Structure 1
Amino acid sequence: MPPGQLPAAASTTAAPVSVAPPAEIPFASAHAAFVRTPSAPQAWGGPRSGNEATLSDRVVSYRIQARLDPDKHTVDGRQQLTWRNRSDRPVSAVFLHLYLNAFEGEGSTFFTERRLLAAHGGSRGIAPVKKGEWGYIDLGHVEQDGATLAWRYVHPDGGPETDHTVVRVDLAQPVPAGGSVTLDMSFHSQLPRVILRTGYVGKFHLVGQWFPKIGVLELAGERGATEPRWNVHEFHFNSEFYADFGEYDVRLSAPKDYVVAAVGEQQGAPVQEGQDLTWHFIQGDVHDFAWMAAPGYRTLDGEYTGPGSPKVKVRVVYPPEYEASAKPVLKASLDSLAYFSQTLGPYPYKTLTAVVPPFNAAEAGGMEYPTFFTADSFREIKPKTLDEYLLDFVTIHEFGHGYFYGLLASNEFEEPMLDEGLNEYWDDRMLRERGQKVYLTRPLWQFFGVEPPLDAFELERMVARLRHPSDPLGENAWDRLSSADYGTVYSRTATAMHDLEERLGKGVTEKAFRQYYANWHFRHPGTGDLQATLADVSGKPEVVAQVFDRYVYGTERIDDSVGDIVSEEVLPLAGTRIKDGRREEVTTDANDEAIRKQRDAWDKAHPHAGPGTGPFPWKTIVTVRRDASPVPQTLKVTFADGSSESVRWNDDRRWARFVFVKPVKGASAELDPERKIYLDSDKLNDSRTVDANHAASKRWGADIAALLQGLYSLLGTL
């Protein structure tokens, strides 16, 4: 057999067998979500020191040969899969994901949930599917040492019988504890017109989740498991993926005028075979493989060198119509390599490839795979615009997945917060370090000064649905009220982590995340592992537990407000009093006259005194209210002379009253003056003034008037 060639499989049209013995190893729960229990110290082979023979504990290897038919948008492939049984018992059946079958018809779990979840909130991936645009994967002949194996569709999450995204393959010979099995198989993949993350638009092909992929056998002590279990969920609408680390050796054939880019390192120049070129890629220590193929694409190359990393070849692959996007994507990729390497840990791979999707292929943008991601695309990039921000943010975000989804390899099915949420938080930190602002309005509005720029965390807070959170942040991807509520996994996690950072300190938080990465890269941490690391490194387990209990495991919210502020002079009072041992009476009239004389004398002595001052002290009383969960607050009271005084409110009272006696009148009161608490669902009620202040309404009125005047002038020139 020629080097690199896989054994031919007999057929690509074998029918599934309907009868098979029951699984000896159970499935993970259909509703599994956050794992509070920290994993065992030696879970997933224990922490990687860097001195091992391979970066990860490789559980699986794939040798794939595949050919793209660009006219039919199909991929025909042969695959040799070798899997190692890490458990202490024989395994008589294995389970494979056939992700593309999510797009075969409306009976899949994906489309069943799409109808329900997308109807209650916006989402990507909801475009109608027209005739001829469906996608699927047919598993053909499967062999073990020459023996043909039976397989059948199964439904680990209790999805509809019409879902075909998971199959069980019964082995001819069980895999002994610690042993390995090699399976040879063929498959035929029909790509959909891009619905979500994968497919074609015109001649552009983004080929993701396109091959039969083995599920994860988790062991006791790993992510809360108490015994071996198959973690092999159906492909849900909002969920993404979870897989073992391994090695990929992939040969891809496409027409010779096509550009191909993929996960991993290209092995020499492509080899011509008739009218096709065959491209060869190898990458170890990753848990997925994706690629793109399209004619007419161009490339822009760069290079990253940094402590602890190999020399990284960075390539942007882009269509000519989006040439303006190529350089910003390259710069943001290089900047991301530096930031994530410095703040979490060195990037360990030799390549990074970013793909700019073509026109009308937005659903193919913003998707991540190891060493390979798709960015956004714009024809023109103007400074200080929303387009500029989005291009940078999407690039940084998809690169960041290379750490939280790729190297940390958290379970995106069950704990999407550990990937989407933590990645969003770290992306926002990078944007903050860059000093990059969000310009939501278009240049015409900016010209009139209607809106100042926001920082990334302010934008996250705006879209986080903090008033009435529907689901805990740690919930799985599919048991959510709606797709829009699932979307808050990104923004609400970033906001919660922002507030935790404010309580722990920026340096302490960064140290804790570096340790989290050091402990768990090339493994599969759970939520309890993140909490334990944050608690241990910070030395403040009670603070970390409070945030996790309320927001990660619960749905509590914050809404503190300044209920009232009153400032009054402390004047002498009429009535009786004891003077020189005798009681005497001061009438109201006499008391008023004495007050008047004191005022006159003080005014003469202080002719330039400002408002809110005088001969008598002022008592300022501030009432604060708490309508949700308690959180340590700072109350700042500012006085008429510009001085201020701050107090801490750190208890469980539903309301509190603070009294200040000063020589000057109180002017205003503000909770969270340094704006550290972004989880507060209503920041507009955080402050009050003693006297009405119309500056804001006047400003907005002037802005609107200026805008209208400008528009009328513009119309007059047309």
Structure 2
Amino acid sequence: MTNSIKFPRWAIGLALVGTCALAATAPKAVVPATAPPVADDIPFASPHAAAVSVPSAPEAWGGARTGSEGTLSDRVVTYKIAATLDPDKHTIDGKQQLTWRNRSAVPVRSVYLHLYLNAFEGPGSTFYTEQKQNSFGFRSGVKVDKGGWGYTRLQRVEQGGAKVNWSYVHPDNGPSTDRTVVRLDLPEAVAPGGSTTLDIDFFNKLPRVSARTGYYGTFHLVGQWFPKIGVLELPGERGATAPRWNVHEFHMHSEFYADYGLYDVSLTVPKGWTVGATGEEQGAPVTSKDTVTHHFVQGDVHDFAWTADKRFAKPLDGVYHGANGPVQVRVLYHPEYESNAKPVLDATIASLAYFSKTLGDYPYKTVTAVVPPYNAREAGGMEYPTLFTADYVDDPRPGTLDRYMLDFVTIHEFGHGYFYGILGSNEFEEPMLDEGLNEYWDHRMERAAKTRITANTWLTKALKFDVSMNPFDEQRLGAMLDNPADPLGGNSWDRYSSGSYGTVYSRTATTMHDLEEMVGHDALERAFKQYYATWKFRHPSIADLQQTLAESTGQRALVERVFAQQVYGTQKVDDRIAKFESEEVLPAPGLVEWKGKPVELTQAQIDKTVDKLRETWKKAHPKAKDGEGPFPYHTHVVVKREGASVPQTVLVRFEDGSSKAFRWDDASGERWARWQLVTRSRAVSVQLDPERRINLDRDKLDDGQTREANTAASRRWTADVFAALQSLYSVMVTL
């Protein structure tokens, strides 16, 4: 939880000194108004907003897109930006025309902008405050040296030629020194259904690349770089009951949420520099004496990012032929990572094919993948509309662990183009809808390709067997199965730790895997296709996802149970075999009735009779297997439940090769179940979840028992150790 922080006088003094130093390198900024007018009565979304529990109205965000509309999305905002990069000072001069439409039924006198780069201006930002307080670091935690900070400064804001006053605000009650959200008090209110255009001059200093954006040497990844208007949500949208501004501060783990619109961006860089950006380039670049200007346009996206570098090699290009026409795929890379370029291109094209087939057709004409240069890995593993950064590895040969990681990061960052991009999930409040669902779908793609994570290295040689596992088994290792701290539907910042935030990836993927196993593979895929068709370009909530899955699979009770346990709650799953016995049923000493009289049978008499019957039976059945004989066997199985109720299967196998399965799907809360049966063959093993459908179970090693010792468990432990290391690395590179 983020609380308001008071800084001592000496800290404020240092902050002022830092501000003066920044002002020395930037053009003079207009001072925000000290006493701005009273804002509208439109509130902010709650600083602790998280999983929405009420489905959105059918008409939310303009209603479902049928394909007959003139645009893919109901465009709310238009950005026309001209920006010039100074690659030596790592600064950007920008001029922006922002046209915003008021979708609400009330006049709007104040609007709010994100100034994301101010998260990197110093230790007083919400971002750095949370990083310092958190029990774990963020990504690799690059240390910021002198000159490595970043910021955005507003130079001019006008509405129709009239000056606009502004002031910094803190929608999440963060430190007063945070400047990632600014309120603009408009000279003229925006009427219901009307639009307004704001003319904004801004100046950026990029940080040394550390978290999703910045520079290293000549390499520049320019993200979160322009003043970006917040989202005015209306009643019936993501749980809103009245108009509200969804405009959270830039938290350590939060990412982005914005309205769809049109981006028309001109980027000026030095001659000889290569540029990649969101959208389609319009015609040939325009050359002047020392610079080149590239013009990009893209509609129906909610962000824009770009990269520029004089050291990029000749781009590697490819084409995906999709239902909406050819998609131009480009990979940008430095010469030293030429070996990475083709794998990234191939994985991107394969991802286009898989996501288009299993979710819905890719709607844009371009995809640009960027392999970050050496020492700029912090820029890797990041997504923007039609542009993403991959990773780099030393050994991209097929079958190596490096190659697996390169492919996976590429698939993952492309996949964000669907869950973050086309569906427009709110990554502030419901990161599960992007990071989690994307992680799940990535592993579905790997499963379809029969991918296994392998360590064909010293570990395999030392253990004398292949240390490998499927991706879903690997995910469960990082999912806090034993004691989940936060519900999956929690927001990005009210988290127990960075490790708990990481479960947004692994625990969501594991939960959705288990739900798919319960409802069926085809049914779950059909449901996700419907989710995509209904909610593309519309910003769905978790409640909208639950409703679609429940309706499309036809298993509402099961879907609601899983969401209650894992998405809205924090219930662990922990079922185990508590007892397993299979004993021969022999006569017992005591009194029996014989011809109307009680007769006592002694143990000696019974033993003599049993031996005689065994001898007779063996002569009659010379080929009988061990465990077969004249007497039946009584098998006793008990399953103990320590956590949430999930549908389970118990499979008992017998000496003669036969088996018997029992189904346990008790949603009433029973903590144990018992089965007893009498058969002609002795039971040799009992297995809970024999098809491994329930990966949320905290310990799969106690799911089975055999009558004799089984060494398979030790091998599973070794694989788990290897997978734990991969879970850690996977979270690091994909955050």
Q: What is the TM-score normalised by the length of structure 2?
A: 0.92
Q: Distance in 2 between matches of 1:700 and 1:292?
A: 44
In the alignment, structure 1 residue 634 sits paired with structure 2 residue 649:
yes
Pair 1:445 & 2:469 matched:
no
2:458 pairs with 1:427: no
Task: Look up the match of 1:667.
Answer: 684
Q: Is the 8 A contact 2:654 2:681 kept in 1?
A: yes
Match of residue 474, structure 2, among 449, 459, 483 = 459
Indicate conservation of the 8 Å contact 2:207/2:213, yes or no.
yes
Structure-2 residue corresponding to 1:371: 386
Find the counterpart in structure 2 of residue 5 from structure 1: none
- Structure 2 distance, partners of 1:12, 1:633, is 67
- Contact kept, 8 Å, 2:685 with 2:704, in 1: the verdict is yes
Taking the aligned partners of 1:647 and 1:149, their CA distance within structure 2 comes to 70
- Equivalent residue runs for 1:47-446 within 5 Å: 47-117=64-134, 120-124=135-139, 126-298=141-313, 299-307=315-323, 309-439=324-454, 441-446=455-460
In structure 1, the residue corresponding to 2:487 is in which secondary structure?
A: coil
8 Å contact 2:131–2:138 — kept in the other structure?
no
Name the SS of the counterpart of 2:374 in structure 1.
coil
1:321·1:379 contact (CA, 8 Å) conserved in 2? no
Deviations 1:123-169 (A, max 9, x none): 30522211111111111110111111111111011000100000001
User: Residues 329-378 of structure 1: CA distance to partner in whole angstroms, max 9, x if unpaired?
Assistant: 11111111111111111111111100110001111001000110000112
SS in 2 for 1:565: strand
Query: Equivalent of 1:23, from 39, 42, 52?
Result: 39
| Alpha-carbon distance in 2 for matches of 1:122, 1:165 | 21
Residue 11 of structure 1: how far off its partner (Å):
7.0
The Cα shift of 1:611 comes to 2.1
SS in 1 for 2:207: coil
Aligned to 2:603: 588
Q: Contact (CA 8 Å) 2:577, 2:688: kept in 1 or not?
A: yes
Q: Given the alignment of the two structures, is residue 646 of structure 1 paired with residue 661 of structure 2, yes or no?
A: yes
State the alpha-carbon separation in 1 of the partners of residues 712 and 341 from structure 2: 44
Alignment-derived partner of residue 611 in structure 1: 626
Matched pairs, number: 689
Sort the Cα spacing of 1:700 and 1:419 in 2 relative to 1 into closer, same or farther, 3 A.
closer
Give the conservation status (yes or no) of the 8 Å contact 2:481–2:572.
yes
- Asked if 1 retains the 8 angstrom alpha-carbon contact of 2:701 and 2:713, the reply is no
Partner SS, residue 37 of structure 1:
coil
Q: 2:699 aligns with which of 682, 688, 698?
A: 682
Give the conservation status (yes or no) of the 8 Å contact 2:218–2:311: no
Q: Which residue of 1 aligns with 2:559?
A: 544
Equivalent positions of 1:697-716 (< 5 A) are: none
| Code of the aligned partner of 2:511 | A
Q: Pick the aligned partner of 1:489 from 504, 507, 511.
A: 504
Q: By how many angstroms is 1:696 displaced?
A: 5.3
What's the Cα RMSD here?
1.7
TM-score by length of 1: 0.94
Structure 2 vs 1, CA of residues 697 and 389 (structure 1 numbering), >3 Å: closer, same or farther?
A: closer
User: Which residue number corresponds to residue 714 of structure 1?
Assistant: none
Alpha-carbon deviation of 1:310? 2.5
Which region of structure 1 is more displaced relative to structure 2, 380-389 or 44-53? Answer: 380-389
SS at match of 2:482: coil
1:516 is aligned to 2:516: no
Aligned identity (percent) is 59
Q: How far did residue 583 of structure 1 move?
A: 2.8
**1:351-409, Cα deviation, whole Å (9 max, x unpaired):** 11001100011110010001100001124312222111111111111111111000000
Task: Please give the alpha-carbon distance, in whole angstroms, between the structure 2 residues aligned to 1:18 and 1:34.
Answer: 36
Question: 1:304 Cα shift?
Answer: 1.1
SS of equivalent residue, structure 1 residue 547: helix
Deviation, structure 1 residue 444: 2.6
Q: 1:99 to 1:699 in 2, by over 3 A?
A: closer
Report SS of the residue matched to 1:396: helix
**Aligned-partner Cα distance in 1 for 2:191–2:606:** 99
Which of 524, 540, 546 is equivalent to 1:531?
A: 546
Describe the SS at the equivalent of 1:171.
Answer: strand
Q: Residues 195-220 of structure 1: CA distance to partner in whole angstroms, max 9, x if unpaired?
A: 10000011100000001000000001
**How far did residue 699 of structure 1 move?**
11
1:65 positional shift = 0.6
1:14 to 25, 30, 33: 30
State the one-letter code of the partner of 1:55.
L
Matched, 1:36 2:53: yes
Task: Please tell me the residue identity of whatever aligns with 1:509.
Answer: L
Question: Contact 1:302–1:315 at 8 Å: present in 2 too?
Answer: yes
| 1:323–1:379 contact (8 Å) kept in structure 2 | no
- Runs of at least 4 residues off by over 4 Å: 694-701
Q: Any conservation in 2 of the 1:310–1:349 contact (CA below 8 Å)?
A: no
Alpha-carbon shift at residue 122 of structure 1 (Å): 4.8
2:118–2:152 CA contact under 8 A, matched in 1:
yes
Q: 1:471 touches 1:485 (CA, 8 Å); kept in 2?
A: yes
